[in-house]
Structure 1
Amino acid sequence: GALKNCVRDAVAVKEALEKLGARCRLLENVRSVSTLMKTVSKWAEERLRGSVRIAFIFWAGHALSHRGEMHLVPTYYSEEPASLLKLKVARDTVALQSLINLVRAANATCTIQMALDSCRNEVKLKDATFGFTHGANAADAGNGRVDIIYSTAYGITADDNSPFKESLIECLGGSLVYGSLLEFWQDVTHKTKALSGGTQQPRLDLGSTKDVTLLPPPKQDAPDPAQSLSSPLPASPNFIFFSYIIVQPGVVLTWHIDYLTKHAALVKGMEHHLKSNFADW
């Protein structure tokens, strides 16, 4: 049936991503397969070249599965009013793998995030089932730095007042954008389930490695060594030396002169050594 909130949801997710510094492109009411393919291709060529870490695609709308492969359904896939019963897979749909290929053509190493806010219930079509495939053997399940995130479990209708979108936006404003992608999407899953009263639980097919994060760790200024100490350094000490010589009355000390000279030199040397070693104390 008609989805009333898809554009609003896409705009909200775009704004949340832009707050994190992402450069987004919004495509509303996709009119045809060629429009979607050309737009994604141009976006990938313009935005994903070079050292881009993450390619994030959020789809709000209809989708279906066909022979283990996921397809997106443009809003106006034909000149006639939308009718799933008349839909022709491949002619009127866009295989998710085709979008992945467009991204890979522009960037072979980035991690791809495909967040799909779509129903996964089934209807009787000639050559497809409405929703997404179930099981690890799906043709384009998460693999090779590709994460596919479904807004709900297989066979379940996603709420048009999307708790998945609300949870995603909340998490995009949280600290887990610096955590692993697994932790981030698990948080989205828990929040979606709670917000929907347990009726909608996203499913994750993650192919990215555990060390990949949505955002790189924030840079921190080097700590000031003087401020990192628990207590301030004491002031430089002052040394005062005293030398005592006991002279016995009536004794001639002329022969002690050499020893007194050596003693004075020793004391002077100790004073110089201590002051130089503790000058910065």
Structure 2
Amino acid sequence: MSDDPSTNDALGTLRAAIKQAVTDVRGQTPLAQSFTNFVTINLVANAQLAAGGTAAMSYLPDDVIATAEIAGSNYINVGTLLPFFKNALPEIARKLHENGKTWVLDPVAAGIGETRTAILESFRDVPPTIVRGNASEIIALDAMWGLADADSTTPATRPAGVEAVDEVDAAVDAAKRLARHLAKRSPVGAGAVAVSGAVDLVTDGERTFRLPGGSAMMTKITGAGCSLGGVTATYLAVAEPLVAALAASLLYDRASEIAEVKSDGPGSFQVALLDALWNVTADQVAASDIIETN
């Protein structure tokens, strides 16, 4: 925290923007299209609806490109891959970039497998507007894109599937580099990276925030991170990248805390999470703990 009045004013302005984003999503029901993995597609769509948005799910490149023309934003998740995705996803990313469309990337299991690596490497020059992942995925993507000097890159300890083996603190520099890279090529002139963990981190490359809270039960259901990526895309349809990433992460922190109290285990937690996403107020989200760091 800072006692600097200018810092406090800036944080107050940010809170107001977060509140407005939550309000706008529920008032406008924006469409965020998802090309997401097979395991979690149902939860992603339901979470987008519960947050107040509209969902569209597709795997056909021509469908995705056509729907992007009417969608407010888009979401690509590389969690489960088929052979044709190796050509389809780079083409989709190129078209989104050429057409000035915003999108969110979840680089699930970055660093594992030649196909996934080739796809993620292809996004470097036509990148998303927001990247959301765990610490290991963020570190791996930063390394894939060659954004760090060789002597300053901190590689992930080992590939870990969809689970992080690195702490959020280890991904701070990688997240900042990625965010600055996204901003340089973004159709809206800005980008953001959200790193999920015990204490989430969100950065636009210039300002960095830590978000305490949330529930450890999020690690006991499949698709929590994937659905957060989808909801981040929902917010990106109405807000600039930093605000969208913060609003989605904070919404999930508050909703997961409520869901944990109301559930008896993973099954009821998932149901309670959807209910909480629906019921958490804009004021509750905006009033969450937000710690600005260097």
TM-score by length of 2: 0.34
Which has the higher relative contact order, 1 or 2, with Cα contacts under 8 A spaced 6 or more apart?
2
Larger Rg: 1
